[in-house]
Amino acid sequence: MKTVIIYYSLSGNTKKLADFLAAKLTADKTPIEEQNNNTSFFTMLRLIYHVLLNKPSQIRSLRVKPSQYDLVILGTPVWMMRLSSPMRAFISQEKRNLKKVAFFCTEGSSGGKAVFEIMSKLCDKQPIATLEMTQTDMMELEKNQKLVDFIDVCRRQPENVEAES
């Protein structure tokens, strides 16, 4: 089974989790990058505007082709209880190329379930697994049982796995 982790990370938390998952799953990984990839005040205002209005960002082309993978694991931060605009853009552009999906998110304290529902609708498919990670959960990745369970589901052959959450 060929797996790729595609993620967006602004603060570094989602990247840290993507790196950990890629190592445990022996998966390829690639970040989603915005066209205007800086953290200036005006960029942050634009991101907030996009998130509040559920608008996608302008993103760069990926270095990988999602259609070449059996499982695509999508990772995003939760912003103001909403899906990040770069991930929204990616899913909107690539949903036809996603065979099986799993979702993970990093969040301050909540919002992941709503974000996963939006991601499922945008993808037009249910994920084989989902994983919400709060800042507290991120402190000890090796000892986190829900992370272990997510990895276990993702290791199984996607064609034999029913959608789980």
pLDDT, tens digit (0-9, with 9 covering 90-100), for 123-150:
999 999 999 999 889 988 988 999 999 9
Q: In sequence order, what are the residues at sequence separation of 6 or more whose Cβ sits closer than 8 angstroms to the Cβ of residue 75?
A: 5, 6, 7, 8, 9, 14, 17, 18, 21, 103, 104, 105, 106
Averaged pLDDT for residues 78-106? 92
pLDDT, tens digit (0-9, with 9 covering 90-100), for 1-47 = 899 999 999 888 999 999 999 999 999 999 998 777 666 666 666 66
Distances (CA, A) of 105 to 15, 29, 42, 50: 10, 15, 25, 18
Mean pLDDT across the stretch 146-163? 76
**Which residues lie closer than 8 Å to 96 by C-beta, 6 or more apart?**
none
Is the predicted pLDDT of residue 49 greater than 60, yes or no? no
Q: What is the pTM of this model?
A: 0.86
Domains, the chain: 3-160 (3.40.50.360)
Whether the CB-CB separation of 106 and 17 falls below 8 Å is answered with: yes
